[in-house]
């Protein structure tokens, strides 16, 4: 193997090492929803939380909402039919994007963890996640982006 082949193979191996875990994280049961922005609100259909199984409807405890205009996704947890929490998925330590693992948000940079309420569960982060006001109207969850 010559130098060029070696560098090419090592390059693709490195790409695979970084991309594969990211793809696996996205497939690990977390639902991602692309939602439109109307005015200053992100509008998420409540039906996005529904899981229909054998004639009954259950609700997801959380999902991740994205919009191409947002720099980071928003983690939305559901407490009941009218109570939702929406949190910016940017680590408050040094700004990395958080990854959802069930009801915990983990930072791949230095290991901080946040609960589904946005509070710091493990440092080095020491500040809670930015949160947004939410309201349920006409079958939609509206997240105010101010
Ligand atoms: S950027 Fe998240 S723990 Fe450092």
Write the CATH number for 79. Answer: 2.102.10.10
- Written as six digits, the tokens of 55 are 């004639």
Containing structural domain, residue 20: 1-30
pLDDT for the residue 1? 63
Residue of 88, 90, 93 to test ligand 1 pocket, by largest number of atoms within 8 Å of CB: 93
Domain check: are 7 and 42 in the same one? no
Our answer on whether the CB atom of 96 is closer than 6 Å to any ligand 1 atom is yes
Gap between the Cα atoms of 60 and 8, Å rounded: 43
Write out pLDDT tens, residues 51-105: 888 889 888 899 999 999 999 999 999 988 889 999 999 999 999 999 999 889 9
If one counts the domains in the chain, the total is 2
Q: Is the pLDDT of residue 2 over 80?
A: no
Domain check: are 13 and 39 in the same one? no
143 CB contacts (<8 Å, ≥6 apart)? 41, 42, 43, 44, 65, 74, 76, 86, 132, 133, 134
Mean pLDDT for the stretch of residues 135-146: 92
């Amino acid at each position: 193997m010559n130098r060029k082949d070696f560098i090419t193979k090592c390059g693709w191996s490195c790409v695979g090492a970084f991309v594969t875990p990211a793809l696996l994280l996205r497939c690990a049961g977390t639902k991602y929803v692309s939602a439109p922005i109307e005015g200053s609100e992100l509008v998420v259909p409540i039906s996005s939380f529904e899981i229909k199984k054998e004639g009954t409807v259950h609700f997801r405890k959380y999902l991740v909402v994205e919009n191409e205009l947002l720099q980071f996704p928003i983690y939305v947890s559901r407490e009941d039919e009218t109570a939702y929490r929406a949190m910016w998925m940017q680590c408050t330590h040094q700004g990395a994007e958080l990854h959802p693992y069930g009801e915990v948000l983990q930072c791949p940079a230095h290991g901080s963890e946040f609960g589904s309420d946005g509070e710091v569960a493990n440092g080095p982060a020491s500040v809670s996640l930015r949160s947004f006001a939410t309201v349920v109207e006409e079958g939609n969850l509206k997240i105010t982006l101010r």
